[in-house]
Amino acid sequence: MKTIFKAVVAGTGFYVPEKILTNKDLELSLNTTDEWITTRTGIKERRIASKDESASTMAARAAKQALEFAALNADQVDMIIVCTSSPDILFPSTACFVQKELEAFNSAAYDISAVCSGFVFGLSIAEQYIKAGRYEHILVIGSEVNSRIVDWSDRSTCILFGDGAGAVLLKRIEQSESIGILSTHIYSDGSLSDLISVPGGVGKTGINKQDIDDKKYFIKMAGNATFKVAVKRMTNVILEALKYNNITIEDINLFIPHQANQRIISAVAEKLNLPEDKIHMTIQKFGNTSAASIPIGIENARLEGKIKPGDVSVLGVVGAGLTWGAGVIKW
């Protein structure tokens, strides 16, 4: 009889910088107000990395929490996947710096780039390795220093983003019943790449003064067009995930969406007929932390007692690329 492997969440952790930047703080430098930001995004404050912090340092801190939670030594980790669009440097990978900090030298370590969808993409990769029986312990980490790639004079983007990291430690178990990562579903559409991007390309044009003057190394976003596409794609992929697992909206204990914008989350929830008390929100405290928002949300929900054994959680993401996806976890 064939052995059936499952990927279960054995540990979680998150880290956010100490510095808090409130909407009131932004009123001092931008033509905006706390009310304007709150009503349009749901964000009240966000965290900003110090000069000594980076994607790798925050990722390592979140990973150490996940390892401690799982009662696992770093040398037992088989793979480290860091999901980031704000890496420390172009290369080596941020994951290699995390590996060095953890002293997890028995692992393969690499980055993936799917921006705000990154964590679910990383989870999907890790799930396949574990279910195939190839690896036993995989760290999937989302970590971002968005504050370094936003134009702080552009109120349409800089108000949205914050810094932080979250980590999940997946463990292989032999189990026939449905548990752990039940499924992941990921998609991309490169024809919509202009909706959200950092258009300055090191490999495309090299670093040049004109691109710097034109602020092409900062996030650019077509807000209204992104909203419509995001709601449709996230809703559809969540419905696909539910159908795949033969579960209904009523079976969901908690929906943990990417924290892009409260209006997007509310619109998706409305289309799914998902009650508000089943939606976990962190956007008011942390803003949009891109690839880190899902693992931060998972650990935040756990700490608040919203995740219990036997519960079913659904993850939903959409990000630049365009990328989008969903995941279903039974705890």
CATH number for 311: 3.40.47.10
Which strands make up the sheet holding 180-188, listed edge to edge? 180-188, 323-330, 312-319, 254-257
SS3 content of the chain, % helix, strand, coil (to 5): 40, 25, 35
Residue 196: beta bridge partners?
Answer: 221
Q: Has residue 286 been placed in a domain?
A: no
Element (H, E) at 80: strand 79-83
77 shares a domain with 53: yes
Q: What is the DSSP letter of 221?
A: E
233 shares a domain with 121: no
List of the chain residues with pLDDT < 50: none
Domain closes at, from 174, 209, 230: 174
Q: How far apart are CA 139 and CA 126, in angstroms?
A: 8
258 among known catalytic residues? yes
Sequence-ordered list of residues with C-beta below 8 angstroms from that of 220, at least 6 positions apart, any chain: 157, 196, 197, 198, 199
Instruction: Give helix 223-244 / helix 262-272 axis angle, nearest 10°.
Output: 40
pLDDT of residue 96: 98
Q: Has residue 42 been placed in a domain?
A: yes
Element (H, E) at 239: helix 223-244
Contact assessment for residue 136 and residue 78, using Cβ atoms and an 8 Å cutoff? yes
Token reading at 82: 């860091």
158 among known catalytic residues? no
Token reading at 46: 């966000």
Domain closes at, from 150, 174, 198: 174
- State the sign of the Cα–Cα–Cα–Cα dihedral 15, 222, 91, 295: positive
Q: Has residue 9 been placed in a domain?
A: yes
Contact assessment for residue 211 and residue 200, using Cβ atoms and an 8 Å cutoff? yes
Q: Has residue 79 been placed in a domain?
A: yes
pTM: 0.97
Average pLDDT score over the chain? 97
145 shares a domain with 184: no
Token reading at 304: 């608040």
Token reading at 183: 């499924």
Q: Has residue 293 been placed in a domain?
A: no
Token reading at 16: 């956010």
pLDDT digits (tens, 9 = 90+) for 225-280: 899 999 999 999 999 999 999 999 999 999 999 999 999 999 999 999 999 999 99
122 shares a domain with 45: yes
pLDDT of residue 67: 98
As for how many domains the chain has, the answer is: 2
Q: How far apart are CA 328 and CA 315, in angstroms?
A: 6
Token reading at 135: 């690896």
pLDDT of residue 2: 77
Boundaries of domain holding 322: 180-278+300-330
Contact assessment for residue 53 and residue 101, using Cβ atoms and an 8 Å cutoff? no
Token reading at 7: 């990927």
pLDDT of residue 301: 98
Catalytic residue among 137, 185, 258, 280: 258
106 among known catalytic residues? no
Contact assessment for residue 58 and residue 49, using Cβ atoms and an 8 Å cutoff? yes
267 shares a domain with 121: no
Catalytic residue among 116, 158, 185, 280: 116
Count Cβ atoms below 10 Å from residue 168 Cβ, excluding itself.
30
161 shares a domain with 66: yes
Q: Has residue 63 been placed in a domain?
A: yes
Token reading at 250: 């009523």
Domain closes at, from 111, 145, 174: 174
185 shares a domain with 115: no
Catalytic residue among 23, 261, 288, 300: 288
pLDDT of residue 1: 65
